[in-house]
């Protein structure tokens, strides 16, 4: 439902405030909708006149945190994160307020006093995905290795150190099909990264740990991880 959408980003699943959806959208752009997730509360002692927050809103009743100044009071309050929707301030619901109204309320809080925020963080990417219907899947085609819609690694450059073997190429193709089934996207390099993570693993538990270390930000559902491991195993056994 539209009321669950906090904000949208272009071409990234992360809460990257430099990628907020704007007026310019290209034909190859992907829009990622960030929806409401877990609620959280925090009490903060206002020891400074400036909290270090930049607030914006989506224009439909959802003020959220766009920036947190490094070293500021709110930067030290680790429970508060960029992308969080500010739902209440000291029990007052501010969901339908514009960003400048929320910013003024925070600024007007008395120095030296404790105030309470109720926040809603964006749901972590891909946390509740289920397989889509297999009808209408893409036909086999050459997949571009140019501009991609998903980043492949949480740390370091998206590079594959070893060239994939013929067996791994078959596994990569199958994993790419699974990505389309579960998530509606084709990303051959992401599929290659996942196959690489399972290269020397002996069981699905080891693979899940390796996948989490490599691509933990994606929070892939367990069923998807199991199917990917099965595809890798099928390729190794010559069943693909």
pLDDT tens-digit profile, the chain (240 residues): 888 999 999 888 888 898 898 767 787 888 889 999 999 999 999 998 889 999 999 888 899 999 999 999 999 988 999 999 999 999 999 998 999 999 999 999 999 999 999 999 998 766 555 555 544 444 444 444 433 334 344 445 544 445 667 888 899 999 989 988 887 778 888 888 889 888 889 898 999 998 888 887 777 888 899 999 999 999 888 887
Residue 1: inside a domain? no
pLDDT at residue 28 in the model:
80
Residue 146: inside a domain? no
CB 21 within 8 A of CB 9: yes
Q: Provide φ and ψ at 214, rounded to 5°.
A: -85, -40
* Of 13, 7, 9, 3, nearest in space to 152 by CA: 13
The domain in which residue 91 lies consists of: 38-122
Residue 140: inside a domain? no
CB 46 within 8 A of CB 115: yes
pLDDT at residue 164 in the model:
66
How far is it, in rounded angstroms, from Cα 194 to Cα 183?
15
Nearest 5°: CA angle at 109, between 47 and 65?
A: 85
Q: Provide φ and ψ at 164, rounded to 5°.
A: -65, 145
Residue 2: inside a domain? no
How far is it, in rounded angstroms, from Cα 178 to Cα 134?
10
Residue 86: inside a domain? yes
For residue 123, give every residue at least 6 positions away whose Cβ sits within 8 Å of its Cβ, in sequence order, or none. Answer: 34, 35, 36, 37, 38
Residue 138: inside a domain? no
How far is it, in rounded angstroms, from Cα 183 to Cα 228?
13
Residue 130: inside a domain? no
CATH number where 57 lies: 2.30.42.10
Beta bridge partners of 63: 57
The answer to whether the pTM exceeds 0.85 is no
Helix ranges (DSSP H) in 82-154:
99-108
Residue 183: inside a domain? yes
Q: How many domains does the chain have?
A: 2
How far is it, in rounded angstroms, from Cα 201 to Cα 208?
9
One domain, residues 113 and 167: no
> Of 104, 122, 140, which residue constitutes the final position of a domain?
122
SS3 54: strand
Helix ranges (DSSP H) in the chain:
99-108, 166-183, 188-197, 204-215, 222-236
Burial (CB count within 10 angstroms: exposed 0-12, middle 13-18, buried 19+), residue 70:
exposed
> Of 122, 138, 164, which residue constitutes the final position of a domain?
122
């Amino acid at each position: 439902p539209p009321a669950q959408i906090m904000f949208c980003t272009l071409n990234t699943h992360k809460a990257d405030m430099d990628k907020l959806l704007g007026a310019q959208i290209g034909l190859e752009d992907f829009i990622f909708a960030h929806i409401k997730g877990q609620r959280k509360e925090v009490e903060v002692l206002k020891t400074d006149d400036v909290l270090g927050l930049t607030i914006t809103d989506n224009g439909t009743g959802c003020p959220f945190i766009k920036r947190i100044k490094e070293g500021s009071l709110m930067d030290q309050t680790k429970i508060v994160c960029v992308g969080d929707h500010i739902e209440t301030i000291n029990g007052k619901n501010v969901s339908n307020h514009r960003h400048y109204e929320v910013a003024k309320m925070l600024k007007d809080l008395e120095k030296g006093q404790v105030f309470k925020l109720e926040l809603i963080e964006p749901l972590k990417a891909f946390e509740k995905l289920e397989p889509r219907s297999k009808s209408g899947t893409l036909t086999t085609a050459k997949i571009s290795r140019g501009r991609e819609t998903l980043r492949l690694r949480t740390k370091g450059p998206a590079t594959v150190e070893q060239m994939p073997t013929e067996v791994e190429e078959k596994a990569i193709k199958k994993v790419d099909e699974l990505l389309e089934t579960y998530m509606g996207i084709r990303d051959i390099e992401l599929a290659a990264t996942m196959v690489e993570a399972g290269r020397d693993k002996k069981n699905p538990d080891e693979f899940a740990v390796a996948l989490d270390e490599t691509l933990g930000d994606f929070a892939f559902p367990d069923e998807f991880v199991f199917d990917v491991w099965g595809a890798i195993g099928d390729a190794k056994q010559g069943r693909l």
